[in-house]
Amino acid sequence: MAEDTIAAIATPLGEGGLAVIRLSGPDALGVADRCFVPAGSRSLRPSAAPSHTLHLGRIEHDGRLVDEVLLAVMRAPRTYTREDVVEISCHGGLLPAKLVLTAVLASGARLAEPGEFTRRAFVNGRLDLAQAEAVADIIQARTELALAAAEEQLAGKLSQRIRQLREDLLGVLAHLEAHLDFPEEDLAPDTAARLLARLRDGRTFLETLLRTAPEGQILRRGVRAAIVGRPNVGKSSLLNQLLGRDRAIVSPEPGTTRDTIEETANIRGIPVVFVDTAGLREADDRVEQEGVRRTHTAVRQAELLLHVLDASEPLQPEDERQLATLAGRKRLVVLNKSDLPSRLDRVPEAVAAGLPISCLTGAGIEPLKDAIQRAVWAGELRADMVEVMINARHQEALRRACEALHGALDGLESGATFELVALDLRRAIDAVGEVTGQTTTEDLLDRIFGEFCIGK
């Protein structure tokens, strides 16, 4: 498959000013030659064009005009994949892009699989595996902080530190294996002390990286926050305020929301997936019962609850039941309708610490956003924290590396045979190498790149 020339639409489908069809592979220029007709005296056939040049022309298929295009020629190795690459910019819209792609495929290219362009960049040594994953993170970033973290990873900040750690561990392993080859030579005490110090430094570094995993995953996938409470307390109005636009239908009639509504908002740099739910109550009709069932599902899946109460009414028995039921969950109690006189007569501790807001005037929404940030992110949120943040795959690999390194350290300190210490050390080195792809399998690559979009 590496010898195939691949092609795909590299821009989102739909109406737009431009669409881009990307080709990569040993015959990318030949494929382009067979469907591109230069226009004007300065435009050249792709195979005759210098690298990194643009050419005006048209795409033809079966002797018919498909579209007028600009064609970019980029010759290996100075390309995204380190192969010959051609990018065809045609008019935006689903049909022009689809017809240009059809012409390209008919000229000898194969439709690319998800992530295959980036996979080729990895296989050809342009990116390591951590950098390749950062490409997907950049595309999927929903806040500026998430984008900054992905760009730092693409720039190689994490990879540089991982490679240095692996080199340090390989250095220790080389000492041990040299001793195994010459067992008559005792390991000098100062040498043993230096090796132990290097392993301890490596373990400390791994533990530091592992502590970034929760924040890294929050930036990448966001936090789920369910908005819950009795009907008609202002849950949908709160969703609209947090989003800054009217997303949910708001009505004075109770029970307007029958289904869950999910939308993502940028809350102080953190992507938060807010889930507006149906009111928690005993439902009569089957549709409302299904809405309440989905509410309970959303509550179970949420990492944070925004429990909304109506501060303009006395606390209802249903409010008290819900406060007690959800007491063990991470939550913020939100007291809506603070623009009206408060009529909360019985005030449990959770309500006393509640956050007053008014969805009518917007009062209290900014302090609520601050409270949401504090609830999901420990400590200060700074741009310089994102230089090295690992994802779930990195976390699993580094956890195994840390366990193996613990074993190697325990072995050296307790006087275990160097064969056993070296075995643990090799396990640690292999696990560390999984992060950047220095140790990998086809199944792992299939899983990682299979999550990419086609065209990237």
- Using alpha carbons, list the distances in angstroms from residue 416 to 102, 193, 227, 421: 64, 15, 56, 7
Which residue is listed with tokens 């439709």? 111
Q: Helix or strand or coil: residue 76? A: coil
> How many Cβ atoms from other residues are within 10 Å of residue 205's Cβ?
18
Phi and psi at 70, nearest 5°, equal: -110, 130
Extract the tokens encoding 243: 């989003």
Which residue is listed with tokens 């929760």? 214
The enclosing H or E element of 89 equals strand 85-91
131-212+389-449 CATH: 1.20.120.430
pTM for the structure as a whole:
0.80
The domain segmentation of the chain, as residue ranges, is: 6-112, 131-212+389-449, 220-376
Cβ-in-10-Å burial (0-12, 13-18, 19+) of 15 comes to: exposed
pLDDT in tens for each of the 456 residues of the chain?
668 999 999 998 888 899 999 999 999 999 999 999 999 888 899 999 999 999 999 999 999 999 999 999 999 999 999 999 999 999 998 899 999 999 999 999 999 999 999 999 999 999 999 999 999 999 988 888 888 889 999 999 999 999 999 999 998 888 888 777 665 555 554 567 888 899 999 999 999 999 888 888 888 888 899 998 888 888 888 999 998 877 655 545 555 555 678 888 888 888 899 988 876 555 556 655 666 777 778 888 888 999 999 999 888 888 888 888 888 889 999 999 999 998 887 777 777 788 999 999 999 999 999 999 988 886 666 656 667 788 889 999 999 999 999 999 998 888 878 888 889 999 999 999 999 999 888 888 888 888 888 888
User: CATH homologous superfamily for 6-112?
Assistant: Probable tRNA modification gtpase trme; domain 1 (3.30.1360.120)
Taking the C-alpha atoms of residue 63 and residue 354, their distance in angstroms, rounded to an integer, is: 71
The enclosing H or E element of 36 equals strand 36-38
Domain 220-376 fold = Rossmann fold (3.40.50)
